[in-house]
Amino acid sequence: MSLLAPVEGWYAKKVARDEKMWMLISFVLCLMLFVWMLLWHVYGEQNPSNVTYRTTPVEFSRLHEAYIKKNMIGIDNGVPVVKPEPKSDVFFMGEMWRWSPALILQKGEWYNLHISSKDLMHGFSLQPVNMNFQVYPGYDYVLHFKPTEAGEYKVLCNEFCGIGHHTMIGKIVVIENDEDLKKYGYDFPEKSAVPAPGTDTAPATATEVAPASAEADIKAGELVYTLKGCVACHKTDGTAQLAPAWNGLFGKKEKVKENGKEIEVTVDEAYIRESIVTPQQKVTVGYEQTVMPVFALNDEEIRQVTAFVKSLQNK
């Protein structure tokens, strides 16, 4: 926009020859790109799925969690790893700030990939092939999907979704045969030995109940930590970018803010329960910008998560 008004009668002046040439070139290029877009859409098979269902974050989370419990073969840095059967339905969910699960797919096989969001809008960007899709909460977006090249692919979020946006990186591994699993570090046992939350794994003899039950609680707590997405912020390797790391946390003195006042608390069973049920009641100093959501955990799951945190006390 010009700061000065145009000279009167400017519209009556003839367009220069070189300007006409550039206008013609631009018009032809626009036509070529328009035609190419249509051809690429039809003959290049770059057709986004038109299969979309209305859902809710709660409902999709329930389906996603049940699917992982049934098909999980291992855990990769706190993210469940799933190797679905060809031609099956696969549930893949985005949430602040992770994609879950990590998928192992068979080259040349078709899958129905269900994608949705647990919280807000994310962007599904599969790299390096540069496939991009919007992921909305409240919608189940189904991709009829066939990987054609073996390799490891990253799923990035290309919609800014908050303070942990840069850490939101998922993984899809395409293999030709099961021997390729070793190459990607996914040589897991046939089925994960981690029990699902609520599973009664205690032995029959009374003398073995206490230690075995404690071990089962720890494993079940790790599974809750993985499935519910706690791993997206709370790490167990000592890193604490978005929230306090869980290793060495139990029994530690922490400074928190409650009603605007800074106080010191001890991380014990009661504090862990309070942090899960009412996470904004006491916010750890230094992490005020990370808003922890309320997770719908029952008393048994809270006990299991607490057992898992306690097991990391000396790590």
Which of 43-52, 70-79, 126-135, 297-306 bottoms out in mean pLDDT, i.e. has the lowest?
A: 43-52
Say whether both 177 and 284 belong to one domain: no
Query: Which CATH number goes with the domain that contains 288?
Result: 1.10.760.10
- Quote the pLDDT of residue 210: 43
Greater model confidence, 307 or 199: 307
pLDDT, tens digit, for every residue of 98-110? 899 999 999 999 9
Query: Which CATH number goes with the domain that contains 172?
Result: 2.60.40.420
- Quote the pLDDT of residue 208: 42
Greater model confidence, 44 or 57: 57
Residue 189 has pLDDT above 50, yes or no: yes
Say whether both 59 and 177 belong to one domain: yes
Residue 194 has pLDDT above 50, yes or no: no
Say whether both 69 and 173 belong to one domain: yes
* pLDDT grade for 48, boundaries at 50, 70 and 90: low
Q: Classify residue 148: in a domain, yes or no.
A: yes
Task: Work out the end-to-end distance of the chain between its first and last CA atoms, rounded to an integer number of angstroms.
Answer: 62
Q: Classify residue 24: in a domain, yes or no.
A: no
Say whether both 71 and 111 belong to one domain: yes
Strand order across the 169-175 sheet = 72-76, 79-82, 102-106, 169-175, 151-157, 122-127, 131-135
Residue 242 DSSP label:
S
Residue 42 has pLDDT above 50, yes or no: yes
Q: Classify residue 271: in a domain, yes or no.
A: yes
Say whether both 134 and 220 belong to one domain: no
**Range of 303's domain?**
206-311
Say whether both 220 and 176 belong to one domain: no
Percentage of residues in the chain having pLDDT higher than 90: 31
pLDDT, tens digit, for every residue of 269-303? 998 998 888 888 888 888 887 778 777 788 888 88
Q: Classify residue 237: in a domain, yes or no.
A: yes
- CA dist 307 and 311 (Å) reads 6
Q: Classify residue 22: in a domain, yes or no.
A: no
Say whether both 56 and 178 belong to one domain: yes
Q: Tokens in use for 39?
A: 């051809």
Task: Decide: 233 and 163 in contact? Cβ < 8 Å.
Answer: no
Is 0.85 topped by the overall pTM?
no
User: For 202-217, what is the mean pLDDT?
Assistant: 53
Say whether both 236 and 306 belong to one domain: yes
Q: Classify residue 278: in a domain, yes or no.
A: yes
Say whether both 101 and 145 belong to one domain: yes
- Quote the pLDDT of residue 59: 92
Count structural domains, the chain: 2
